[in-house]
């Protein structure tokens, strides 16, 4: 169980404790060998390497961890999680940091969060993903209007993007699942 010694009862959990509660991952398991950052395919697009984000959490530098763009740049490829000699699931750890950052309203890569929100909005409403709605909402939210306008007609004529969504029957259930998971 938790390796974090609770000196006295506190109302507020530390970031490390919150991550452990959410994922079962003990932040102290990481011994900073750096193998994750060495093999990370998106490392070159990050200012702070992934292992350093873990270090922030270990040291209680919560703001540094939650505000780092690294947590949003992670592509979730799971290379780090697979190679870690300590079996530390860093990709899941990055997901937990994003989830906590959202709760605290500390968002360093707003465009990526807008993408996720636009995606889930369609799933919540229809039970299935809906690309046209996703792209429309994402573009409106980010003002990134012009990207991919060249391929859009072709996608449409190939039938790869449809104007109407597929909808499942039991949408009430999906709505309920979303509501309960947001609580």
Partner 1 sequence: MDNIGYYPGCSLLGTAKEYEQSIRHVFSKLGINLIEVDDWSCCGATSAHATNHLLSVALPMRNIILAKKQGLKSLFIPCAACYNRFVVARYEIENRPELRKKIEDVLEEKIETDIEILNMIEMFQRIDRELFLSKRQRDLKGLKVAAYYGCLLVRPNGVTGFDDPEMPSAMEDVVRLTGAETVDWNFKVECCGASHSITNMTVVTTLSKRIIDDAVENGAEAIIVACPMCHSNLDMRQRNIAKMDSQHKSIPIFYLSELVGFSMGIDKEDLGLSLHFIDTESVLARFSTAIVAKE
Whole-angstrom distance, CA of residue 63 vs CA of residue 100? 11
The span of 4-12, 29-37, 55-63, 121-129 binding partner 1 (CB under 8 A) equals 121-129
Query: 162: Cβ–Cβ under 8 A, 6 or more apart, which residues?
Result: 131, 132
| d(C-alpha 114, C-alpha 119), whole Å | 9
Q: What is the Rg, in whole angstroms, of the alpha carbon atoms belonging to the chain?
A: 19
Query: CB under 8 Å to 140, separation ≥6 — which residues?
Result: none
Q: How far is the CB of 127 from partner 1 (least distance, A)?
A: 4
Rounded-to-integer distance, Cα 99 and Cα 69, Å: 14
- When asked if residue 127 is in the footprint of partner 1 (CB under 8 A), the reply is yes
Residue ranges with strand state E in 85-170: none
Host H or E run for residue 91: helix 90-104
Kindly identify the residues of this chain, within the stretch 58-97, that bind partner 1 according to CB under 8 A.
73, 75-79, 81-82, 89, 91, 95-96
With contacts defined by CB under 8 A, name the span among 8-16, 26-34, 54-62, 161-169 that binds partner 1: 161-169
* Phi, psi (deg, nearest 5) at residue 168: -85, 170
Which of residues 7 and 163 has its CB atom nearest to partner 1 in the complex? 163
Question: Contact between 163 and partner 1 (CB under 8 A)?
Answer: no
Among 13, 28, 61, 112, binds partner 1 (CB under 8 A): 112
Q: Of 22-41, which residues contact partner 1 (CB under 8 A)? A: 22-24, 41
Footprint of partner 1 (CB under 8 A): 22-24, 41-42, 44-45, 73, 75-79, 81-82, 89, 91, 95-96, 98-99, 102, 111-113, 115-117, 119-120, 123, 127-131, 135, 138, 147-148, 151, 154-155, 158-162, 166, 168-170, 173-174, 177-178, 180-182
């Amino acid at each position: 169980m938790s390796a974090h010694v609770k000196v006295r009862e506190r109302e507020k959990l530390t970031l490390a404790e919150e991550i452990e509660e959410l994922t079962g991952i003990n932040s102290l398991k990481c011994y900073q060998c750096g193998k994750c950052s060495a093999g990370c395919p998106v490392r070159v697009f990050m200012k702070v390497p992934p292992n350093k984000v873990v270090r922030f959490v270990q040291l209680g530098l919560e703001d540094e961890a939650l505000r780092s763009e690294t947590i949003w740049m992670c592509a979730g490829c799971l290379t780090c999680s697979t190679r870690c000699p300590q079996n530390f699931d860093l990709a899941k750890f990055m997901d937990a940091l994003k989830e906590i950052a959202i709760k605290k309203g500390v968002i360093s890569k707003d465009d990526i969060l807008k993408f996720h929100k636009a995606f889930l909005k369609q799933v919540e409403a229809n039970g299935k993903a809906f690309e046209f709605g996703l792209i429309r909402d994402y573009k409106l939210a980010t003002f990134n209007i012009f990207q991919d306008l060249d391929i859009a007609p072709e996608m449409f004529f190939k039938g790869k993007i449809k104007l109407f969504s597929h909808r499942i029957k039991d949408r009430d259930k999906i709505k309920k699942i979303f509501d309960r998971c947001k609580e």
